[in-house]
Amino acid sequence: MTAPKVELRTLRPDDRERLLAWRNAPEVAAYMYSDHEITAAEHDRWFDGLAGDPRRAYWIIEMDAAPVGLANLYDIDRTHGRCAWAYYLAEPQVRGRGVGSFVEYVMIEKVFGDFGLAKLWCEVLASNEAVWKLHEQFGFHQEARLRNHVIKHGVAQEVVGLGLLKTDWLQRREAARARLAAKGYALGE
């Protein structure tokens, strides 16, 4: 089996409009904390604020050279050796092809390798069970269950907080590599 070619590249100025459209798409917005439609002015403030912010890093996910999603690190804290992360696949045709698993692997490797951090954490709506279970396959542990943490369409939602330590990752890394190789993904060393 041959997997699609998936790469992460840094954001460029020409990604601005694409990201606004993705973020406001119902299939992406459903899993975000905010419900409102993001205005162009609000988005421009966010996008312009990314430049030079050492606590955030963003990548466009590309599949077969076409932009299909976004991955990011935030709250990068070198003092405490940790950061948070999130990603989304905005193009429906890429879902179910192992792209999310590949992105998860690459981002974990970035955090513990390139960034030299010791902990990666994230928050996921409890209703998004497929995603938090995917994180658990990569060694994340549930560290919190935040009750009534987010209001979505007027309804309080629970959030699952998950954390992955570098030591946990080192125990899971080879199994993750094997799963991705079985799906046809080539991983560099």
Q: In terms of residue numbers, what domain contains 30?
A: 6-182
Higher pLDDT, 116 or 34: 116
Residue 187, domain member (yes or no): no
Q: Is residue 17 part of a domain?
A: yes
pLDDT at position 1 is 58
**The residue to which tokens 């939602």 are assigned:** 157
Q: Which CATH number fits the domain that encloses residue 86?
A: 3.40.630.30
Counting every residue written for the chain, the total comes to 189
82-109 residue pLDDT tens: 999 999 999 988 888 899 999 999 999 9
Residue 119 lies in a domain: yes
Torsion sign, CA atoms 90, 25, 59, 68: positive
Given a cut of 80, whether residue 2 has pLDDT beyond it is: no
Helix (H) or strand (E) holding 47: helix 40-49
Whether residue 157 is contained in a domain is answered as yes
Any domain includes 95: yes
Question: pLDDT at residue 39 above 70?
Answer: yes
pLDDT above 70 (res 189): no
> Would the pLDDT of 110 be above 70?
yes
Residue 65 inside a domain? The answer is yes
In a domain, 164, yes or no: yes
pTM score: 0.94
Torsion angle of the four alpha carbons 153, 143, 176, 95, in this order, in degrees rounded to the nearest 10: 0
Number of domains in the chain: 1
- DSSP reduced 3-state for 22: helix
Q: What is the mean pLDDT of the chain?
A: 94
Q: Is residue 188 part of a domain?
A: no
pLDDT for 52: 86
The pLDDT score that the predictor gives to residue 51 is 87
pLDDT reading at 81 higher than 90:
yes
| Model confidence pLDDT, tens digit, residues 115-173 | 999 999 999 999 999 999 999 999 999 999 999 999 999 999 999 999 999 999 999 99
